[in-house]
Chains A and B, each alone.
Chain A
Amino acid sequence: MARVVVDVLLKPEILDPQGKAVEGALGRLGLAGVSSVRQGKTFTIDVDGDLDDARLAQLHELAGSLLSNPVIEDYSIREVTA
């Protein structure tokens, strides 16, 4: 089995009001010096068998269409040990 983690974050130029709200809460709870918080999503995907190039390419395609909206979000894919 292979495990793939896809991280999705709003593009830097897109306002992230949820991140801003968390940023304010962190400050109120005493964490000093927080200059920015961006809230994103993480998908942990387990696939049977080995992760060959074809499946990785398929994962990239779906990460850029279903899992993220390229208009407002960036994604990154990494393979981790399950």
Chain B
Amino acid sequence: MTSGMRIGVVTFPGSLDDRDAARAVRIAGGEAVALWHADADLHGVDGVVLPGGFSYGDYLRCGAIARFAPVMTPLIDAAKGGLPILGICNGFQVLCESHLLPGALVRNDHLHFICRDQKLRIESNSTAWTSDFEVGQEIVIPLKNGEGGYVADDKTLDQLEGDGRVIARYLDINPNGSRRDIAGITNERGNVVGLMPHPEHAVEALTGPTTDGLGFFTSVLTSLVNR
């Protein structure tokens, strides 16, 4: 069954997980639309995923060059207008570099690239991308990053927590030194979400540790239908 909703997935030079993200959109019941970094518009999509990878080789800073790609101009405008945007891993870094989300992602405190099945607790279901979860729900999805440490000043962190804008937290271990075990956050409006672990790799029993990641992609379709 398809929802008729069209979710764009942006490919930057060096994106890795765009195909998995598109597949996750399709499995959730949406239509995946390939967006190119050099596109001047968003082809009328109903939401956008900025996928994981190493856009522009992570040169300068992760996401710093992608942030100035042509497709980001209409994307930033659309995000401010309420279009659902999910940034996963490198996509989260791009959203922080674009100042659509506060804070920044820095090198893991232990300096090693880490790849593991990571337990998370969903902290908010009042966003376009988490509405199908229960608050407090524990999920396991893959995590793989070298620069996944979420940092922001204490005032920003207090504000994020006070406003319920931390959407997921690491459980059992903090894999990268993120402040306050933060795995994902949202903007004030709840349409822009950044998440360091990878829900798009946990949508099928054959290849994922669970199918817990599917909830992010069904949430946005539900949010769009109920809009």
Binding site for B on A (CB under 8 A): 10, 13-15, 17-18, 21, 66-67, 69, 71-72
Contacts and interface: CB of A to CB of B under 8 A. Distances in A.
A82 B221 CA distance: 57
B61 interface: yes
B60 interface: yes
B177 interface: yes
Contacts of A14: 106, 151
Contact of B103 (A13, A18, A71): A71
Nearest to A39: B107
A67 B151 CA distance: 19
Given A69-B97, A71-B152, A72-B151, A15 B106 contact: yes
Among A14, A66, A71: residue with most chain B CB under 10 A: A71
Interface size class of B (residues with CB under 8 A): 20 to 34
Nearest to B93: A69
Given A66-B64, A67-B60, A72 B104 contact: yes
Given A18-B111, A21-B111, A69 B104 contact: yes
A71 B111 contact: no
